[in-house]
Each structure stands twice: as structure tokens, then as C-alpha cells.
Amino acid sequence: MDNRIAICDPDEDEVNNELFGDIEPVTWVNDDTNYDLDEINMAFHRVDSHQIIYEEKKKKCKLIGKYVMGDLLGEGSYGKVKEMLDSDTLCRRAVKILKKKKLRRIPNGEINVQREIQLLRTLKHKNVIDLVDVLYNDEKEKMYLVMEFCVGGLQDMLESMPHKKFPLWQGHGYFCQLIDGLEYLHSKGIVHKDIKPGNLLLTLDGTLKISDLGVAEALDMFAKDDTCTTGQGSPAFQPPEIANGCETFAGFKVDIWSSGVTLYNITTGEYPFEGDNIYKLYENIGKGEYTIPAEVEDPLKSLLQGMLQKDIDKRFTLQQIRQHPWTICRPPKTLEEVPIPPLRGDEWHTMTVLPYLMEHHYGVDNDPTYYTEHQLNDSCESLVSPDWWSRYDRRKKTPRNGSDKWGTEECLQQPL
């Protein structure tokens, strides 16, 4: 079946192709029968939930292309984020559901979405979120951005702890991954402009992903430097040059500053600059005066001072950060790891749906085995036993392309 065919939810709006005219339109039809779902007494309450095969079906499963729609993960100013299951690879995805009504109410909302799509399609790095697919309907004015699945984010983890901070060894690991991803973006001439814990997500194997490139800027390939003229990031993470209203500023140094504020936040549980309102906050940032808690020891203290340097010329570069003693030497593991909090108390949030689907659809008698998303990414083929394939063949079903096994591109989560 054409994996660009989908069922449209009449209760939600969709972004039309006035903005995204270069994307091929999608035909939306009722195509449930091809998936044989009517005979299955199940509901996709959450695609990674233990309830998936035990709860009595309340409504038809919603299909969008080759994706089975899952439960709500969150909702922001741009729209909802839901979980999805790729019916080809049985890999989980996350989908941003964008509504034109909401985009019109957000300053530069439509432009930011277009920019994010264009940028993500050119990027491929282990520490940058992958854009897997884009589906839209010009009649219903809704767009789906299908992304790789992340089980949580640094902000949620921080808020789940009383002291709002990570152990130094854990924060060190996340910070080093952030620098890896940031170095890649800068090598591509991209200034993120909004680095903060809320935009740093985690996969099931603990890989950090830089997300939300809506306000990012791609520098002209012939530009002589990284000069930028607009800053739209979160106020608490903005550098003094933006807080003071400079018309032009060095884009890469903006990301260095916001990464420094992020490091300060995840290791101390506090912010270097605060204010009763945005005007007072910007006034404090513009002065560049802050205090590092007394319990912070060198060399972390010197790293923070280098990254949060008001003078742009003295502010650390990525190379200096990489060569800094605190970055090179990981702190000892003295405290327990801060776990990824379960979504709405779902203890199975970090489990995949693959074993349940195999057992339910194909009659595998063995006890379910739980796999991480990392194992699925390595190869779905390695997770399926020969006995499973013999059962699969007896049901007279054929994998995609008529082959006797899934192709590599079918098994792996690859970006566009």
C-alpha cells in the first residue's frame, strides 16, 4: 500500500500547502481494511503501553500513512505532539501536529515551521533530532512532522527532582553530547539560538538530541563570519549582547552562552540571571554579573566563567570548551542517576511495543522480551527469530518488496 495514504482526523485542523507548496500532496482515504484491524479487539491507548493488547477496543485505530497514531505526549504553543508506530519497521515515532490557526497567532509561526523543516532535512547527526517524514493536507489545514521518538527531556527530568539538578557525572555526559551536536550544527553554518534543557531530548538509550530548530538561522555559505541580526530564543538563556539590544551579534557565541546557562542550570539547579519580569531579567543579563554557588568546584567553575563571559572576544569557543579540564575528565559517579520520569505514571514508558505486536498478531508463544529503541535502530531483523518467520510465512503474508526479510532501510530509522 502507498505509505503516503492516511486517515484524517476530522476533529483537528491542518496546515495547508500555501506555505509548503514544495511538498507532494497526500491523499486521505479510509484504508483501515488493508491493515485487518477490524478483527482485532484492541485499542492503541499508548503505543508503548502494557495496556495495548488488553484494553477492549473503543474506537477504530487511526492510520496516517503507514503510521498508527498513539497517545498524546504533550502540547505546546505550536500544536500537539503524539506518539506513532511505524507499521513497516515497528519503530516508534513522535509526530508534531501543526494547526494553521495556531501558527497564525504566533509571531513568525509559519516562517519558523518552514525553516525547521528545511533545516532538519539537511541534517544527520546522532545528537540532532531526525525528521523522518512530513505529511499534510491542504483541505483540512493540518501538517504532521514525523520525528524520531524521544522518551523524555532534560527539563522534565530536572523538574522531577527536589533539587532540580543532575549529579555532576550525569550532567557532564549530557553536556558533552550537547557540545558534539552543537559543533555539528556550527560546522553546517547553523546557529540554533535557543539552546536550553527544554529543547534537549533523550532517546531510550540515553542519547541526547538537540531539537526545536524553529528559530535557528542558516548562515549564507558565502558569509565572511557568523553575524546575525535577530534573536528569538528564550529570555533567560539570551546573552548580554541581545539583552542590551545590539543590532548585530556573533551567532555562534550566542549558542555558547546559552549552553553555559544550560550547564549552570543542570549542575546547580539555579539560573545565573533572574528577574521579576522580562525587563528586569534583561537588565541583569545585560550587566553580566552573576554568582556561582560556593559548592561548585574548579574546574567546573572556570568553565562556567569562560562560557558566561560578557565580553564576546573572551567568551570560550567550542574548541576551548572541548579542551577544558572539566570536559576532558568526567566526574566520579558518587550519586544515583536521575531517571527519566514516566509519562502520567506509565511504568512501561521505556518499553517498546514490538514484543506485544509479535505475540498478538503472529502467535509467538515465548514470553515477551523487551528491547530498547537503540536495539531496534541497530536492526529490527536481528530481533525476529527464525521461528517467527516460519509462522509469518505460514500465514501467507509477504514482507515489503516481496523479499524474505526486511530491507536495511526498512529496519533502520534513517533521516531524510
Query: Catalytic amino acids?
Result: 194
| CA–CA distance, 415 with 124 (Å, rounded to integer) | 7
| CA–CA distance, 194 with 338 (Å, rounded to integer) | 24
| CA–CA distance, 91 with 413 (Å, rounded to integer) | 8
- SS3 call for 227: strand
Question: For the purposes of burial, counting CB atoms within 10 Å of the CB of 282, is it exposed (0-12), middle (13-18) or buried (19 or more)?
Answer: buried
| Alpha helices (H) along 71-127 | 100-105, 109-120
224 is in an annotated binding site: no
Picking from 132, 165, 171, the residue whose alpha carbon sits closest to that of residue 149 is: 132
Give per-residue burial for 364-383: e unless 16+ CB within 10 Å, then b: beeeeeebbbebbbeebeeb
| CA–CA distance, 278 with 274 (Å, rounded to integer) | 9
CB neighbourhood size of 46 (10 A): 21
Q: Which long-range contacts (CB under 8 A, 24 or more apart) does 253-256 make?
A: 253/226, 253/312, 253/315, 254/191, 254/193, 254/228, 255/182, 255/185, 255/186, 255/191, 255/192, 255/193, 255/195, 256/307, 256/315, 256/316, 256/317, 256/318, 256/321
Instruction: Report the amino acid identity of residue 351.
Output: M
Query: Dihedrals φ, ψ of 402, to 5°?
Result: 75, 10
Query: Dihedrals φ, ψ of 101, to 5°?
Result: -60, -45
CB neighbourhood size of 144 (10 A): 26
Which residue numbers belong to the known binding site? 96
Which residue numbers belong to the known binding site for ATP? 96
